[in-house]
């Protein structure tokens, strides 16, 4: 019981940080929503759903687009959007979309 309590207490800072990042995302969500949907569920089959995706993967992918390291049909559009984002924006967007129900 004591080890479970210690574990849960050690998770609190991470959970608080994730919640703070997620709540700050809506300012930039508009950049993503037209293709990936308002709630991270894309209305188009050609664009992936972001809701419930791993935050690290989302951040990594945006970084790849930012540095023109990811290719594909949407690479030019995604790179143009990604270069507008700061590292804090990327973390916030990743946390926000990861927090949504898929």
Task: Please state whether the predicted TM-score (pTM) of the whole model is above 0.85.
Answer: no
Q: Which pLDDT score is estimated for 22?
A: 47
More confident residue, 38 or 10: 38
Residues 6+ apart with CB under 8 A from 18: 55, 95, 98, 99
Rounded Cα distance, 71 and 98, in Å = 23
Angle between helix 87-99 and 2-24 (nearest 10)? 120
Domains and CATH numbers, the chain: 2-99 (1.10.760.10)
Q: What is the pLDDT of residues 82-100, one digit of tens each?
A: 999 999 999 999 999 999 9
Q: Which pLDDT score is estimated for 15?
A: 40
Q: What is the pLDDT of residues 20-76, one digit of tens each?
A: 444 545 688 999 999 999 899 999 999 999 999 999 999 999 999 999 999 999 999
Q: Which pLDDT score is estimated for 27?
A: 81
């Amino acid at each position: 019981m004591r080890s479970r309590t210690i574990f849960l207490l050690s998770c609190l800072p991470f959970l608080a940080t994730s919640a703070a990042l997620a709540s700050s995302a809506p300012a930039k969500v508009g950049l993503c929503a037209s293709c990936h949907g308002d709630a991270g569920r894309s209305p188009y089959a050609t664009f992936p759903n972001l809701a419930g995706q791993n935050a690290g993967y989302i951040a990594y992918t945006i970084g790849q687009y930012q540095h023109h390291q990811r290719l594909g049909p949407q690479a030019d559009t995604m790179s143009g959007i990604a270069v507008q984002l700061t590292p804090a924006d990327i973390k916030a967007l990743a946390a926000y979309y990861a927090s949504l129900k898929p």
